[in-house]
Amino acid sequence: MKTGLAHLYIPGPTNVPEVVRRAMNVPMQDHRASDFDQLTGSIFEDLKAVYGTTKGRVALFPGSGTGCWEAAITNTLNPGDKVLMARHGHFSHLWVEMAKKLDLDVQVVDVAWGAGVPVNEFARILGADRHGDIKAVFVTHNETATGVTSDVAAVRAVLDGALHDALLFVDGVSSIGSIPFRMDDWGVDLAVTGSQKGLMSPAGMGMLAISEKALRAAQTSKMRRAFFDLADMLKQHDLGSFPYTPPVPLLHGLKAALNRMMDEGLPNIHARHKRLANGVRRAVAAWGLDLCAEHPTLYSDTVTAIRTPEGVDARDVIRIAYDRYNCSLGSGLGPLSGKAFRIGHLGDLNEGMCLTAIALAEMALVEAGARIKLGSGVAAAQEAYVMRPAEAKLRL
Ligand code: PLP
């Protein structure tokens, strides 16, 4: 029997704060009532702030990030359209597979799992696309499988440099709300996220932000869509409502989560994620283990994917952590199965929670056969987190 707290360190769903859980305990209400916009109005406004857009719109679809991948494609592209995508982890791989299923003509650039979006190769391909055959470029901002954050602004610069008109699609499922995302500044046309990661809510809703340019593309898009029709959704959103029954308790939770985010302040949230991630990475370095991310410029501040040493099966580490210590770590996905495990450090999290993750992962690693010194990772993270007296006084 498992006792005490369940420690959740998968990179989503993340821990849902008490205030959000309580906010969801509401009687059911009439989503067609004239005052329903009192619930939804601030959600749309706050989400725009989280996305870094004043010009774009945000649509909320019951579903998840995957649903919004589909909504982004089916609302703006046409069957047979050529699109450019990189594959460098499980989620970018799944988005490629979806694009193929939806009859897009996908040009895939395969790079190592651990690399970022291949900006130079994208520059070469887009530069050579003289007739503008490529209609969209897809970027997975934060590849959750490998703990790699890619440079969306650099892809925008490449598009601009090539005078290329393709739409820029971004998967921000494990980045938006946790690390900086600047939809307008980066010229992102479609940005996808979900309720269960940085937004600290249960799974069940996907968010899609749409630029003015993408809205224009939506007017001529001929792909088949029904449930995910953006025009229907935005028409109802204008009235503060939905074209079908929305998950009302989830909306209450999301509203509370966004209130909390606005209270903390987005720059503070981003700084907190950076600080916490840095401690986790210091722990991994102290263990002498490698990250999946190939280079420090790619390190994700929301999830760290850690390669287990030769002879240590990452599945054992995850199983031991769960069975013995009631601690959920993220698994190695696809080709990383057995070779890596992940620590999610996004959402409602603090230093103590990260130290717990490190301590329990450390014990699970040792029990799975890794030759690391108990306490080494914890001590390294403490060094990263602790404030020296002079600094602490300054902050008081
Ligand atoms: N994209 C990324 C980067 C993800 O991490 C995930 C889920 O973990 C998804 C897409 C799929 O999102 P969902 O599970 O909300 O459908």
194 Cα nearest atom in ligand 1:
15
Answer yes or no: do 302 and 259 share one domain: no
Ranges assigned E (strand) in the chain: 7-9, 57-62, 82-87, 105-110, 134-140, 142-143, 148-149, 167-171, 190-194, 205-210, 290-291, 303-307, 327-329, 340-344
**What span, in angstroms and rounded, lies between the C-alpha atoms of 102 and 97?**
9
Write down the residue that tokens 């056969």 correspond to. 369
- CA 200 to ligand 1 centroid distance, Å: 14
Does residue 103 contact residue 80 with C-beta atoms inside 8 Å? yes
Give CA angle at 26 (23, 31), nearest 5°. 110
**Cα dist from 65 to 37, 95, 105, 119, 204, whole Å:** 24, 11, 22, 24, 9
The verdict on residue 62 lying in a domain is yes
143 Cα nearest atom in ligand 1:
3
Query: How big is the chain, counted in residues?
Result: 396
Answer yes or no: do 232 and 355 share one domain: no
Percent of the chain with pLDDT over 70: 100
Answer yes or no: do 190 and 212 share one domain: yes
Query: Which residue's C-alpha comes closest to atom 9 of ligand 1?
Result: 65
pLDDT for the residue 2: 87
CATH code: domain of residue 390: 3.90.1150.10
**What span, in angstroms and rounded, lies between the C-alpha atoms of 331 and 12?**
12
pLDDT for the residue 294: 98
- CA 342 to ligand 1 centroid distance, Å: 15
Which tokens in the block code for residue 358?
A: 């490190």
67 Cα nearest atom in ligand 1:
16
Does residue 72 contact residue 190 with C-beta atoms inside 8 Å? yes
Which tokens in the block code for residue 50?
A: 């989280």
The verdict on residue 345 lying in a domain is yes
pLDDT for the residue 388: 82
CATH code: domain of residue 61: 3.40.640.10
**What span, in angstroms and rounded, lies between the C-alpha atoms of 144 and 155?**
19
Answer yes or no: do 230 and 299 share one domain: no
Question: Is residue 216 a known part of a binding site?
Answer: no
Its ipTM equals: 0.99
Answer yes or no: do 190 and 137 share one domain: yes
175 Cα nearest atom in ligand 1:
3
pLDDT for the residue 392: 77
Q: What is the pLDDT of residues 32-91, one digit of tens each?
A: 999 999 999 999 999 999 999 999 999 999 999 999 999 999 999 999 999 999 999 999
What pTM value is reported for the model?
0.97
pLDDT for the residue 33: 96
- CA 60 to ligand 1 centroid distance, Å: 16
Residue 95's nearest CA partner among 56, 143, 152 is 143
Radius of gyration (Cα) for the chain, nearest Å? 21
Residues pairing with 108 in the sheet? 85
Q: What are phi and psi of 112, to 5 degrees?
A: -60, 145
Q: Does position 247 have pLDDT exceeding 90, yes or no?
A: yes
Split at pLDDT 50, 70, 90, the class of 1 is confident
Answer yes or no: do 240 and 349 share one domain: no
- CA 85 to ligand 1 centroid distance, Å: 16
- CA 141 to ligand 1 centroid distance, Å: 11
Answer yes or no: do 129 and 277 share one domain: no
The verdict on residue 1 lying in a domain is no
| Best residue among 173, 197, 303 to mutate for probing ligand 1, ranked by most atoms within 8 Å of CB | 173
Last residue of a domain, which of 215, 243, 263?
A: 263
Write down the residue that tokens 């890619």 correspond to. 150
pLDDT for the residue 267: 98
Task: Tell me, letter by letter, the H, E, C secondary structure of 27-74.
Answer: CCCCCCCCCCHHHHHHHHHHHHHHHCCCCCEEEEEECCHHHHHHHHHH
Answer yes or no: do 270 and 326 share one domain: yes
The verdict on residue 133 lying in a domain is yes
Which tokens in the block code for residue 253?
A: 């939770």
What average pLDDT does range 248-277 have in this prediction?
98
Answer yes or no: do 259 and 292 share one domain: no
Which tokens in the block code for residue 394?
A: 């300054």
Answer yes or no: do 372 and 244 share one domain: no
Answer yes or no: do 175 and 286 share one domain: no
What average pLDDT does range 384-392 have in this prediction?
87
Q: Residue 327: give the domain boundaries.
A: 7-13+265-395
- CA 197 to ligand 1 centroid distance, Å: 9
Amino acid code (one letter) for 227: F
How many distinct structural domains can be found in the chain?
A: 2
**What span, in angstroms and rounded, lies between the C-alpha atoms of 85 and 92?**
8
**Cα dist from 387 to 275, 284, 289, 363, 375, whole Å:** 12, 20, 26, 26, 19
pLDDT for the residue 373: 98
The verdict on residue 279 lying in a domain is yes
Write down the residue that tokens 């650039």 correspond to. 109
- CA 1 to ligand 1 centroid distance, Å: 31
Provide the mean pLDDT of the chain.
Answer: 97
The verdict on residue 377 lying in a domain is yes
**What span, in angstroms and rounded, lies between the C-alpha atoms of 90 and 87?**
8
C-alpha dihedral sign at 190, 334, 371, 12: positive
Q: What are phi and psi of 80, to 5 degrees?
A: 85, -5
What average pLDDT does range 140-156 have in this prediction?
98
**What span, in angstroms and rounded, lies between the C-alpha atoms of 66 and 64?**
5
The verdict on residue 2 lying in a domain is no
172 Cα nearest atom in ligand 1:
3
pLDDT for the residue 391: 80
Last residue of a domain, which of 263, 297, 315?
A: 263
Last residue of a domain, which of 229, 263, 297?
A: 263
Cis-peptide, bond into residue 247, ω within 30° of zero? no
What average pLDDT does range 175-187 have in this prediction?
98
| Best residue among 70, 141, 144, 328 to mutate for probing ligand 1, ranked by most atoms within 8 Å of CB | 144
Answer yes or no: do 50 and 182 share one domain: yes
What average pLDDT does range 10-20 have in this prediction?
98
The verdict on residue 149 lying in a domain is yes
| Best residue among 10, 60, 66 to mutate for probing ligand 1, ranked by most atoms within 8 Å of CB | 66
Q: Does position 387 have pLDDT exceeding 90, yes or no?
A: no
Ligand 1 lining (C-beta closer than 6 Å):
12, 64-66, 91, 140, 142, 144, 171, 173-174, 194
11 Cα nearest atom in ligand 1:
8
- CA 54 to ligand 1 centroid distance, Å: 25
